Structure 1
Amino acid sequence: MKIAGALLALALLAGSAQAQDTDASRLATAREMIHAWKVADWRKVADLFAEDGSLKSMMLPPVNGREAIYARIAALGKGAPDGVTLDVAHIGVIDGLVFMERTDRFTYNGHPGAVPVVGVLDIRGGKVKEWREYYDRASLEKALKGEP
């Protein structure tokens, strides 16, 4: 009888974890991420990733694992101490993935810049399992230097 009770409890826990993966909960996590970037809370940005999460900027090698993601973002954040505004034009969930079309606006090492980006986030259990970023690398490099 105790084994049956334990199995039932595990099944209920598994069901509640799946239940929280709704479109609304995924969007809420994405909005938390947007806010963390805006206020330069690099620790929060990383903590919104799963422990084994992955950040894939398509023009660079992927960064895997929460602490490696934190190291990458915190290093970039040193140049943008006032944060990065993810100016979202469109956001929605398609097939369980959050899609964001946006313009990232920032001041990096004293140079104001902006770059158009599309991000695709796989959010499970309130954490980002994988974040794929699509942008033009040359445009980003110019923007980081404050070039038009």
Structure 2
Amino acid sequence: MSDPALSPLDTVKAFMRAMETKNYDAAMPLVADDCEYENIPMAKVRGPAAVRAVLEPFFAPVIENQFVITRFAVNGSVVFMERLDRHRLADRWVELPVTGVWEVRDGRIAVWRDYFDVGMLVTRWPELQAAMAAA
């Protein structure tokens, strides 16, 4: 459940903690009904169900996630965060530097944009490219 008393940074961190274990039932209540989510340069989606529909197939082969926050800044309701996303697959870890921009409203994530190098991602995780092409 979202908590309007949480700071924007704490809301984002709570979401990321839930996603480290792929606990969608804990993560999605932190996403606003009209949330705008975009993995640049992929298509933009809106709302918790659409966010989950993007994340679940992406994380399906992942055994464990680690989101290592390296830097962040907060300005009012906006959280800017640099992080290293680490995904443990059956045979290896895949690491990807990511920058996220989040806007939190009433304790829920209203805007979430992640910026990363798609070329780096598919080089490090080629199976993902095949899965994306099949979708």
TM-score by length of 2: 0.82
Q: Deviations over 1:1-34 (max 9, x none)?
A: xxxxxxxxxxxxxxxx7xx4xxx61111011012
- Flag the structure with higher helix content: 1
How many residue pairs align between the two structures? 124
Post-superposition shift, 1:111? 3.6
Q: What CA distance in whole angstroms lies between the structure 1 residues aligned with 2:97 and 2:13?
A: 18
TM-score by length of 1: 0.75
Name stretches of at least 5 consecutive residues in structure 1 with no aligned partner: 1-16
Secondary structure of residue in 2 paired with 1:133: strand
Match for residue 13 of structure 2 among 16, 31, 34: 31
Identity of aligned residues (%): 24
Indicate yes or no: 2:2 matched with 1:42: no
**Alignment RMSD, CA only?**
1.9
1:64 — aligned with what? 46
Q: What CA distance in whole angstroms lies between the structure 1 residues aligned with 2:74 and 2:16?
A: 15
- AA aligned opposite 2:109: V
1:104 — aligned with what? 85
- Flag the structure with higher strand content: 2
Conserved? CA contact 2:102–2:113, under 8 Å: yes
Matches within 5 A, 1:127-142: 127-142=108-123
